[in-house]
Structure 1
């Protein structure tokens, strides 16, 4: 059991947690309530520690869980959940909650040992944590293992009844690093203390639980999307695979149908059906280099003779087959233009692996559904139908009081869907597959007749569509910075002009965030997941800015000033007391030349204006040799520092070189991308 509510008493000496449990609810367990004390002077944690005499209570808080502890320059900080919202109830009264507010509390009593630079850095570290916690969806449950699917819970010896951190799936245990101190102390045989009741696994992603009625039968429809923390990141700073085979933006989505036998008088959701789908970045070594253009430079490693390249893909599929069984791969990328190299590489990898457990299908979503013909997604479902029937779904029956719950049916494989971002197109396809499977589940349970389809129930379908559209937004925000595109189709079943306008707005916001804000977002992810650990000894600040980079980043200001002066000279020369035509023309020419020069400089040195990650500098793919207008960044290069070193040499000749053609076919201009973000408007005559 994980303690649900904790009273936190803060003194100058310690943080003291006392579980709050209602006697009528828990009964005899009151005799075994444990308290947790964290001593501020030493950082030591202890169960059932004696009360500190004459301690003055500085503050008292009601907290709903301990997210964990993280070590920064001043020492450890504790993150607690101070607000939560009930999402809904799954089987047997197990609630799922969404964390809404957090508080970051310093264990150390002061920061006197820090220099002014360290204090400044410490504030930035804390701000990164706060921004990450405020901008993402975190979900947890005290009694239900939210990190595991129903089928995996059924495989466990305790059938999922004994829930604690030990049986959580580490891929989706988002605060696993933050809980390391509590976990290590529990595993320490010398102290013989078990802190498991205070360790609360939290997932990042999306959860929706919606009660409904279909054909006069009460059901609960739920959707749980679990984002993997193994290769977490933002859109342009996290693509493809790492060397261990972990994919960027990998998500496991479980669609749940919960109900009771037809003659049941109460709703305990004893009959449970689930269907798993996965999504993740194209499983290859590839990436993009942000450069302030709408679509960054694209990199793919097509050298499949390199064991590091093919080995990463092999490791990825080995992991996936072990977790889910055979893989049905659905690639939705474009078959021409900007996305073409990625799709071709994916197909080549599958061919090279030649694994009988892998089936590959390339469905060019934008081509098949062009001109707003979004109903043509059904063509993909028709193509997949034999595989969908063969893979089945999970059906779990706990309605019999005379025997243990029975796993009546198992899902034997999984559909892994991807587009470039694994967001918009992917969600449309996954919702369509989920609807197809849901009809089969309802028929088998007996809620629908053999000839009925769920699409005929308009009231439920409205719930279904909104849940999947909300899922799209919930997964898109932490990765791209905005809600998903194409959700008008998911919500209404058709593409609308209002939806396209909304997509245009989101695309513009994505552009700004992905180029000018995502470096800080990536830093927050790396910090809270332990990918970057603050050094114990004082080192040079990772947040430093060099004089040259400051001058470079002032260029947009120079552009704004020069353009403003140009307009003023053009339309209001009297403000400058210009009465001579020659002076007027000279002033116009000069301000125009400065404006164009600034604009060309920014275009040519776009990467200099990108907000790069500072804690773990962005690395080019280890295969890559980036040819950027005459400069070369070699294997594993630190992109921001390399560009900064080259910028002085570029400045003298950028006007001549900025129009040079790129000589690598693996790098395509964003204009060739086609229609990644917004479907083309239909022209009316």
Structure 2
């Protein structure tokens, strides 16, 4: 039995503590039906050694009272409170705990472990304090390191699939209701069958389209899964190179575009995949080009399409008012039946298309008229490794979202944060730390390229 024996608190979401693992221990469970020689066999020792190579003190986190494996919106719209859904792509000990959970028919003796990144800090604007939380949840499906896991598998699961959630809420005394907002974005390997040969002599191995999928079935499955998880629209921001002396990334760029065109032929106009290609490497080398400013425009466009989640909650993280939203909780099964709602209210009564920040009804103590808003759809960003360039784009999206989130909370008068604002620098620290962590997990080293922002000229560059 593998037990977590020590923990440390790394944050809290409206009173629900989140912990990191600081120590674990493997304890043998003797059983008379197991031959003692088999228990000490070479295979048994090998399996124990393999299990011990997983360092739970690095980047695993959990909560006893909050479903940290799910987004805030999904938790708030859960119509079965108290049920911990282990059957999710973000619970890394789902398989190891399956036996005891199925036998006991409960989760009292187990805790769901999420692998990725968690950081929380208290910030302030004009004397008003708020909590900023950045969470990255890495999928356990098709998991593995760079070069060993690329692209998509036949089930539509991609390598380096990470959900990033940015949560902002008022820092108020315990027991008081508060406003809370969140925005979710996604990164993942290009959903085609492709690979690279590893070589110490070649720093940029050739990219090989390893399998011909004429109807792009695996690619289609991947995007259908994203729709089940987040709804429509799916906005794809593809950051890889367009033109090269020796075609590498551009091979994938063309095939990816072909796949999207093929899939979109079978979709209604409102449900078609939104494919945005933007060669980040090319633009970052162009003199006079402010890459973050341009990416900010893309982010604003995506935010207008998807919106973000906002509601007012009690101290126990329950909405002050009932909310209605399609249930996307069961990621693996993906039941999209329209009658699965949190409550029986009309969804359209609370939706705010195109203007999700809404009027500032909470200023000056007016807390009674602002309805919740919801995120529908997601921005999916990729480069080749879904690390350095992707992290820059995700920061730009997070910065645009933060302005809208603070505006919705009544902390800022406008939904825009300038690049030279101290808040932009604070947020950059979050995303750089997350980028390094995800790079270590997938690539084995810290992010190679850092975002360098000169506050005097608003210029970003890759060193």
- Taking structure 2 as the reference length, the TM-score comes to 0.79
Report the Cα offset of residue 112 of structure 1.
Answer: 4.8
Q: Secondary structure at the match of 2:25?
A: strand
After TM superposition, the structure 1 = structure 2 runs for residues 316-331 of structure 1, keeping only pairs within 5 Å, are: 316-325=222-231, 326-331=233-238
Give the Cα–Cα distance (whole angstroms) in 1 for the partners of residues 64 and 5 of structure 2.
15
Give the Cα–Cα distance (whole angstroms) in 2 for the partners of residues 295 and 410 of structure 1.
42
Give the Cα–Cα distance (whole angstroms) in 2 for the partners of residues 373 and 114 of structure 1.
68
Counterpart position of 2:37: 113
Counterpart position of 1:102: 24
Counterpart position of 1:295: 204
Counterpart position of 1:468: 431
Counterpart position of 2:321: 404
Root mean square deviation of aligned Cα: 2.9
Match of 1:436 among 392, 397, 400: 400
Q: Quick check: 2:170–2:180 contact (8 Å CA) kept in 1?
A: yes
Question: Which structure 1 segments of 5+ residues have no match?
Answer: 1-77, 188-193, 497-678
Q: Secondary structure at the match of 2:169?
A: strand
Q: Relative to structure 1, is the Cα distance of residues 224 and 329 closer, same or farther in structure 2, using a 3 angstrom cutoff? A: same
Is residue 221 of structure 1 aligned with residue 132 of structure 2?
Answer: yes
Q: Which segment drifts farther, 93-102 or 133-142?
A: 133-142
Is residue 279 of structure 1 aligned with residue 201 of structure 2?
Answer: no
Report the Cα offset of residue 268 of structure 1.
Answer: 5.1
Counterpart position of 1:130: 52
After TM superposition, the structure 1 = structure 2 runs for residues 191-590 of structure 1, keeping only pairs within 5 Å, are: 194=106, 196-259=107-170, 270-292=178-200, 293-301=202-210, 303-305=212-214, 307=215, 310-325=216-231, 326-335=233-242, 336=244, 337-354=247-264, 355=267, 356=269, 357=271, 358-370=273-285, 375-398=290-313, 403-404=320-321, 408-450=372-414, 453=417, 455=419, 457-458=421-422, 460-489=423-452
Q: Relative to structure 1, is the Cα distance of residues 169 and 259 closer, same or farther in structure 2, using a 3 angstrom cutoff? A: farther
Report the Cα offset of residue 289 of structure 1.
Answer: 2.5
Counterpart position of 1:595: none
Report the Cα offset of residue 456 of structure 1.
Answer: 5.6
Report the Cα offset of residue 135 of structure 1.
Answer: 7.2
Q: Relative to structure 1, is the Cα distance of residues 101 and 375 closer, same or farther in structure 2, using a 3 angstrom cutoff? A: farther
Give the Cα–Cα distance (whole angstroms) in 1 for the partners of residues 126 and 444 of structure 2.
40
Counterpart position of 1:619: none
Give the Cα–Cα distance (whole angstroms) in 2 for the partners of residues 399 and 95 of structure 1.
16
Give the Cα–Cα distance (whole angstroms) in 1 for the partners of residues 30 and 436 of structure 2.
38
Give the Cα–Cα distance (whole angstroms) in 1 for the partners of residues 372 and 108 of structure 2.
33
Q: Secondary structure at the match of 1:80?
A: strand
Match of 1:152 among 74, 86, 91: 74
Counterpart position of 2:329: none
Q: Relative to structure 1, is the Cα distance of residues 447 and 318 closer, same or farther in structure 2, using a 3 angstrom cutoff? A: same
Structure (1 or 2) with the greater helix fraction: 1
Report the Cα offset of residue 171 of structure 1.
Answer: 0.7
Report the Cα offset of residue 445 of structure 1.
Answer: 2.0
Report the Cα offset of residue 265 of structure 1.
Answer: 5.9
Q: Secondary structure at the match of 2:95?
A: coil
Q: Quick check: 1:223–1:254 contact (8 Å CA) kept in 2?
A: yes
Report the Cα offset of residue 133 of structure 1.
Answer: 1.8
Q: Which has the higher contact order (CA 8 A, sep 6+)?
A: 2
Give the Cα–Cα distance (whole angstroms) in 1 for the partners of residues 281 and 76 of structure 2.
39
Counterpart position of 1:142: 64
What is the aligned residue count?
Answer: 400
Q: Quick check: 1:258–1:272 contact (8 Å CA) kept in 2?
A: yes
Give the Cα–Cα distance (whole angstroms) in 1 for the partners of residues 29 and 173 of structure 2.
52
Question: Which structure 2 segments of 5+ residues have no match?
Answer: 324-370
Q: Secondary structure at the match of 1:197?
A: coil
